[in-house]
């Protein structure tokens, strides 16, 4: 054949077809090729089979075109294909990527240069290494490779380490070991020495954590010494996040024995064979360094400096903290804490509040360069250190704040509010975003209120970036001018802000300018979408598709109807799931794969908030899959959809082959039901057998699903792999979801702690085990299993050190909380003596305070209240006490409260009476209204807030969509007449949380038209009680809203029954029903590159 497609060549092709009595025109030939390529995308198994039938030359050409071609169009004589676009689609299809991966493994190393194949593998693997690199596939990797190719491929695997399962990591280690052992000159190695040379250790990289203990102990000391001297050894040892204490100590022992050469180090100090400069080389191994004998304070400080990276380890944090604590004690020998504060690195996080309280402001100031970089501070620690630092600095300026780093969150709201507005504007522009976003809503409000009051707000608005912008109130936005579309690109917007700003900016800018900003798509109304011209809509749809996660289900529904109206033949398949259920009938045959694929890449709840609708879509998905998940290709196709499949389908219709691939996907699911988890458990038992026989890797891969196992099975796993079980339990969440697992962890740790600590100062504690710091840190949520008596017997120092952690345990009952509260009194003294940082550190323990105890506390600071208000379980009387305490101690009345006070009070505001609410100043309420609209207060309170909202936004009957969005739950306080008077087009702009706050007897006054216009998300929020109050006509309207039925005027209505058929991929010509002929045609002619 010729090397180039020519018109003459095409004539010959046409003549061939005509001779076969197949009539073809040039355009039908072009359509057929396009259709063929499209079909390939949707039939990855077929594609695999076709690829496997290509000869070597054809395969080479195919790979060159896919991976090396610089061409953006494929010219075949008069036929031109958009190759760039085709290739982009190929790489976006998970199934096709799997095929390319498998075919590369199967054929590439025989057909192309090894280095080219390694390059192709790395490109394909970066798409989804977890799913493709299963342990059984590792067996297909070539076991003989030239050195360069092996190094390149092992580098790819090292880069993908975190993206692969534990079993795959172990299998890849086995593959690397096999090749490395072959490459060794085994005459130099015998039974007593290891194949692990310095170079092999470097090649293994992170896979070195899979070396057995006995292999490490056999590594030649010369090779260890050589490895440590490599420039990049430290970089490698910094990434061994999965190392265990046993392995780390084995490596340390070999390194120690190797007598590391220190002649070139500037530090002469020597302890055994360790020196300061040497510690820097150890990477994460330092986290397990345990030779404390005769260590001097300078070495301890050097070690602590290196241990700042230990928080990256997978687990073993309790051991690390214990080691830091021991080093801290050594580092402080013959020194005061004030003298050495700056040289303790992040071990300062282990200091108790009383130790921090003893520091001088001068010491904190001198150590600020260290303190501002430390992460992991507790809120109470930050409060103490910030106040020390600021008491040294005296004046709070931009410079002062810029020096504080992570400690900036400890600056009080009042201090921010008393700053110079220009300094505050600089803070907003110049502070690291992560620190700004860590400020509480009250602190952010304090900063914004001061800038807004300064008259310089307009110039500052454009500089407020990210999530901070969301705190600006609607009324403040209205007052400003000078907005432009480009300044919106760096900001996060609330929906109310987006609605307001889109309307404002649309007077000056083209829609494309606004839609391309991203966040402003939140402000596009259905009326706007409906008024778009056909071409304009089709051209700008990409902006909506790219920002789907920012849209509401109502907006997605409007987009679907618009697309159906203007171009139902090319509607993206996932939008069919948003339309009423009968539109799913259009999904069949060739549309099935694109339908499932697009749904799998989207968040199901965004498309279908209603359960009934979701079930109908899932039924269609099951039909499209021919009633089963046969293999890994189906798992690839399903994507996120796998999280929503019904339990019965998982039980009976999912093959074990598919399950092995699906496990990773299941672990990413946010809200699996108990029934789904149960079916997954049975599949796992079928796949891996009894947990009694599981390996460490299987246990790690099963991960959170071990919580479903029986108590007996958990006991076996906890005995075999205590560290892994502990690691998994830390990620598991509240006790309700994993009681058996957490109790197993508790028993395992209790049994491991043989020494019974008992407080001799209390006779009633004799023989009672007291919780230790080490146990409390390890247990996390499992601390819930301590008895009241054991908590009472806790040592004062242990309580002081761990109070914040204990305050986060969500499962403690009231008796346990009372015991911990009494312990706090015992440790910190009487209630009036408690400082703000004490109160803040209590977390849930504060719920045990009685009204009288709350009255005794010093509650003058809104920052203290802001932390207390985050607890959701206060009784009304407790909340009243907190409110009264704040007003009395801060010397305020309701009428003097600022907006940041209102924001800080949070849920405590629900305890206000009607007179108090009406005495809030309008301007302050206006600035805080969006935050108040997030509260779940009682109906009488919401009604009073609604009256306040009217004083800001005028009467309720005049409100628009952005106001309804802004006020949130306050809209639940509207009365019958106000609700009835609202335009039906405003119904989707209620926040979903507001719908549930409308009392059923008022909700029933909505007209059928209003209910039909609620939109899918709001309709899904209607409660059972609200539904029971509706008549037949209203219920019918509610069903329309849930279904996503069109509610606009009849002339724009397009009936499902009168539409043209949805486009399906064009059929191939009769002789081309097999795909193979075109694969050969496209790739057998070696096209020039």
> What are 490-546's pLDDT values in tens digits?
889 999 999 999 999 999 989 999 999 989 999 999 999 999 999 999 999 999 999
pLDDT band at 1078 (very low <50, low <70, confident <90, very high): very low
What span, in angstroms and rounded, lies between the C-alpha atoms of 831 and 834?
5
The b-or-e profile of 879-896 (16+ CB within 10 A means b, else e) is bbbbbebbbeebeeebee
733: left (phi over 0), alpha (psi -120 to 50) or beta: left
pLDDT of residue 79: 61
CB distance 944 to 973 below 8 Å: yes
Question: Would you state the structure tokens that stand for residue 927, as one six-digit string?
Answer: 């600035």
| Residue 87, pLDDT above cutoff 70 | yes
Instruction: Work out whether strand 74-76 and strand 79-81 pair parallel, antiparallel, or are unpaired.
Output: antiparallel
Q: Which residues pair with 80 in a beta bridge?
A: 75
Average pLDDT over residues 880-893: 97
Question: Would you state the structure tokens that stand for residue 1070, as one six-digit string?
Answer: 């009769």
pLDDT of residue 187: 55
pLDDT band at 940 (very low <50, low <70, confident <90, very high): very high
Question: Would you state the structure tokens that stand for residue 988, as one six-digit string?
Answer: 């989707």
| Residue 1044, pLDDT above cutoff 60 | yes
Rg, the chain, Cα only: 33
For residue range 320-350, list pLDDT tens digits in order: 999 999 999 999 888 899 999 988 888 999 8
| Residue 706, pLDDT above cutoff 80 | yes
pLDDT of residue 670: 87
For residue range 1008-1041, list pLDDT tens digits in order: 999 999 999 999 999 999 999 999 999 999 999 9
What span, in angstroms and rounded, lies between the C-alpha atoms of 782 and 707?
13
Helix (H) or strand (E) run with residue 80 in it: strand 79-81
For residue range 956-991, list pLDDT tens digits in order: 999 999 999 999 999 999 999 999 999 999 999 999
| Residue 1003, pLDDT above cutoff 80 | yes
Of 6-10, 258-262, 737-741, 922-926, highest mean pLDDT: 922-926
Q: What is the mean pLDDT of the chain?
A: 87
The b-or-e profile of 359-393 (16+ CB within 10 A means b, else e) is beeebbbbbbebbbebeebbbbbbbbbbbbbbeeb
CB distance 1008 to 1033 below 8 Å: yes
What span, in angstroms and rounded, lies between the C-alpha atoms of 57 and 111?
8
Burial of 27 from C-beta contacts in 10 A (0-12 / 13-18 / 19+) = exposed
3-class SS letters over 263-304: CCCCCCCCECCECHHHHHHCHHHHHHCCCCCCCCHHHHHHHH
What span, in angstroms and rounded, lies between the C-alpha atoms of 432 and 444?
14
The share of the chain scoring above pLDDT 70, in percent, equals: 90
Closest CA to 862 of 809, 804, 928, 926: 928
More confident residue, 845 or 31: 845
pLDDT of residue 426: 86
For residue range 533-588, list pLDDT tens digits in order: 999 999 999 999 999 999 999 999 999 999 999 988 889 999 999 999 999 999 98
Which pairs from 412-416 meet CB under 8 Å and 24+ separation? 412/861, 412/862, 412/863, 413/440, 413/442, 413/443, 413/445, 413/446, 413/862, 413/863, 413/866, 413/900, 413/904, 414/446, 414/861, 414/862, 415/390, 416/443, 416/446, 416/447, 416/450
What span, in angstroms and rounded, lies between the C-alpha atoms of 553 and 605?
8
Q: How far is CA 52 from CA 58, 100, 208, 634, in A?
A: 11, 11, 36, 20
Question: Would you state the structure tokens that stand for residue 597, as one six-digit string?
Answer: 């694929």
pLDDT band at 1051 (very low <50, low <70, confident <90, very high): very low
CA 1057, distance to chain mean position in Å, is 42
DSSP assignment letter at 1068: P
pLDDT of residue 1: 36
pLDDT band at 62 (very low <50, low <70, confident <90, very high): confident
pLDDT of residue 188: 57
| Residue 455, pLDDT above cutoff 80 | no
| Residue 736, pLDDT above cutoff 60 | yes
What span, in angstroms and rounded, lies between the C-alpha atoms of 160 and 166?
12
CB distance 1045 to 1015 below 8 Å: no
Of 222-231, 618-627, 761-770, highest mean pLDDT: 618-627
Average pLDDT over residues 174-192: 77
pLDDT of residue 277: 59
pLDDT of residue 891: 96
For residue range 249-293, list pLDDT tens digits in order: 999 999 888 876 433 333 333 444 455 556 778 899 999 988 888
Q: Report angle CA 306, 308, 312 to the nearest 5 degrees.
A: 115
Residues 6 or more apart whose Cβ sits within 8 Å of residue 556: 548, 575, 578, 606, 607
Q: How many other CB atoms sit within 10 Å of the CB of residue 336?
A: 12
Average pLDDT over residues 824-833: 96
What span, in angstroms and rounded, lies between the C-alpha atoms of 840 and 864?
6
For residue range 415-434, list pLDDT tens digits in order: 999 999 989 988 888 767 77
More confident residue, 891 or 73: 891
pLDDT of residue 7: 58
The share of the chain scoring above pLDDT 90, in percent, equals: 60
Q: How far is CA 1061 from CA 573, 583, 599, 1064, in A?
A: 13, 11, 20, 8
């Amino acid at each position: 054949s010729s090397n180039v497609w020519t018109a003459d060549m095409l004539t010959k092709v046409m003549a061939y077809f005509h001779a076969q009595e197949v009539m073809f025109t040039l355009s039908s030939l072009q359509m057929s090729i396009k259709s063929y390529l499209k079909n390939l995308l949707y039939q990855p198994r077929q594609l695999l089979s076709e690829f496997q039938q290509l000869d070597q030359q054809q395969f080479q050409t195919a790979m060159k075109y896919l991976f090396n071609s610089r061409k953006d169009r494929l010219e075949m004589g008069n036929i031109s294909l958009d190759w760039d676009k085709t290739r982009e689609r190929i790489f976006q299809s998970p199934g096709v990527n799997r095929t390319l991966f498998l075919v590369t493994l199967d054929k590439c190393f025989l057909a192309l240069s090894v280095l080219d194949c390694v390059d192709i593998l790395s490109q394909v693997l970066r798409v989804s290494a977890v799913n493709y690199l299963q342990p059984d596939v590792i067996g297909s990797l070539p076991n003989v490779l030239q050195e360069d190719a092996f190094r390149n491929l092992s580098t790819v695997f090292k880069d993908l380490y975190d993206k692969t399962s534990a079993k795959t990591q172990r299998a890849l280690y086995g593959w690397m070991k096999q090749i490395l052992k072959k490459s060794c000159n085994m005459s130099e190695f015998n039974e007593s020495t290891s194949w692990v040379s310095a170079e092999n250790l470097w090649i293994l990289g992170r896979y070195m954590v899979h070396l057995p203990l006995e292999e490490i102990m056999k590594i030649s000391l010369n090779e260890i010494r050589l490895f440590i001297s490599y420039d990049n050894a430290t970089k490698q040892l910094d990434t061994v996040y999965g190392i265990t204490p046993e392995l780390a100590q084995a490596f340390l022992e070999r390194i120690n024995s190797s007598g590391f050469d220190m002649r070139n180090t500037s530090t002469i100090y020597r302890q055994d064979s360790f020196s300061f400069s040497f510690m820097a080389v150890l990477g994460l191994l330092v986290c397990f360094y345990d030779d404390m004998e005769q260590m001097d304070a300078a070495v301890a400080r050097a070690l602590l400096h290196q241990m700042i990276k230990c928080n990256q380890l997978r687990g073993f944090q309790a051991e690390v903290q214990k080691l830091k604590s021991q080093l801290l004690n050594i580092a402080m020998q013959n020194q005061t804490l004030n003298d050495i504060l700056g040289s303790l690195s992040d071990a300062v996080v282990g200091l108790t509040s009383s130790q921090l309280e003893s520091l001088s402001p001068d010491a904190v100031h001198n150590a600020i360069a260290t303190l501002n970089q430390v992460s992991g501070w507790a809120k109470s620690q930050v409060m103490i250190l910030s106040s020390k630092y600021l008491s040294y600095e005296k004046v709070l300026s931009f410079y002062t704040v810029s020096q504080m780093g992570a400690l900036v969150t400890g600056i009080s709201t009042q201090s921010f509010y008393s700053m110079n507005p220009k300094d505050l504007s600089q803070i907003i522009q110049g502070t690291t975003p992560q620190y700004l976003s860590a400020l509480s809503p009250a602190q952010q409000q304090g900063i914004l209120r001061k800038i807004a009051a300064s008259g310089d707000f307009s110039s500052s608005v454009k500089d407020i970036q990210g999530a901070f912008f969301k705190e600006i109130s609607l009324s403040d936005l209205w007052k400003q001018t000078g907005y432009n579309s480009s300044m919106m690109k760096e900001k996060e917007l609330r929906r109310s802000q987006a609605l307001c700003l889109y309307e404002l900016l649309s007077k000056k800018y083209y829609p494309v300018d606004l839609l391309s900003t991203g966040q402003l798509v939140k402000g596009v109304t259905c009326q706007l979408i409906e008024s778009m011209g056909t071409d304009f809509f089709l051209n700008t749809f990409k902006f909506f598709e790219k920002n789907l996660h920012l849209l509401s289900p109502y907006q997605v529904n409007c987009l679907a109807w618009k697309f159906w109206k203007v171009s139902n033949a090319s509607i993206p398949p996932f939008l069919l799931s948003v339309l009423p259920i009968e539109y799913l009938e259009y999904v069949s045959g060739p549309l099935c794969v694109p339908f499932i694929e697009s749904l799998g890449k989207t968040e199901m709840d965004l498309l279908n908030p209603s359960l009934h609708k979701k079930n109908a879509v899932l039924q269609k998905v099951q039909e499209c899959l021919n009633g089963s998940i046969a293999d890994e290709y189906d798992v690839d196709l399903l994507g996120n959809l796998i999280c929503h499949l019904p339990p019965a389908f998982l039980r009976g219709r999912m093959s074990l082959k598919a399950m092995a691939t699906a496990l990773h996907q299941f672990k990413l699911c946010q809200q699996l039901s108990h029934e789904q988890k149960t079916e997954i458990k049975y599949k796992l038992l079928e796949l891996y057998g009894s947990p009694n026989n599981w390996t460490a890797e299987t246990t790690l891969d099963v991960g959170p699903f071990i919580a479903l196992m029986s108590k007996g099975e958990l006991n076996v796993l906890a005995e075999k792999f205590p560290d892994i079980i502990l690691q998994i339990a830390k990620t598991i969440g509240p006790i309700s979801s994993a009681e058996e697992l957490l109790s197993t962890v508790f028993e395992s740790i209790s049994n491991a702690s043989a020494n019974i600590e008992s407080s001799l100062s209390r006779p009633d504690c004799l023989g009672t085990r007291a919780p230790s710091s080490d146990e409390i840190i390890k247990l996390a949520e499992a601390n819930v299993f301590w008895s009241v008596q054991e908590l009472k017997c806790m040592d004062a120092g242990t309580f002081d050190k761990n109070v914040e952690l204990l305050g986060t345990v969500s499962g403690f009952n009231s008796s346990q909380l009372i015991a911990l509260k009494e312990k706090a009194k015992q440790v910190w003294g009487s209630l009036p003596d408690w400082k703000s940082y004490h109160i803040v550190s209590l977390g849930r323990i504060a719920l045990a305070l009685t009204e009288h105890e709350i009255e005794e506390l010093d509650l003058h600071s809104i920052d203290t209240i802001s932390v207390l208000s985050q607890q959701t379980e206060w009784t009304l009387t407790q909340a009243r006490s907190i409110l009264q305490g704040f007003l009395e101690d801060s010397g305020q009345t309701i009428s003097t409260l600022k907006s940041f006070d209102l924001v800080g009070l949070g849920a405590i505001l629900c305890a206000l009476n009607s007179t108090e609410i009406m005495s809030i100043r309008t301007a302050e309420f206006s600035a805080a209204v969006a935050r108040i609209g997030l509260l779940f207060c009682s109906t009488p309170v919401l009604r009073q807030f609604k009256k306040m909202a009217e004083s800001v936004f005028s009467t309720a009957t005049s409100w628009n969509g952005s106001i309804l969005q802004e006020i949130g739950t306050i809209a639940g306080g509207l009365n019958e007449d106000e609700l009835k008077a609202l335009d039906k087009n405003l119904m989707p702009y209620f926040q979903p949380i507001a719908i549930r706050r409308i009392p059923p007897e008022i909700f029933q006054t909505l007209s059928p038209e209003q209910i039909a216009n609620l939109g899918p998300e709001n309709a899904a929020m209607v409660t059972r009680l609200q539904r029971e109050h509706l008549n037949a006509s209203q219920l019918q309207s509610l069903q329309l809203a849930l279904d996503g039925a069109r509610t606009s005027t009849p002339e724009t209505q397009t009936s499902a029954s009168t539409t043209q058929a949805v486009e399906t991929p064009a059929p191939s010509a009769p002789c081309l029903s097999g795909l193979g002929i075109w694969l050969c045609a496209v790739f057998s002619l070696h096209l020039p590159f």
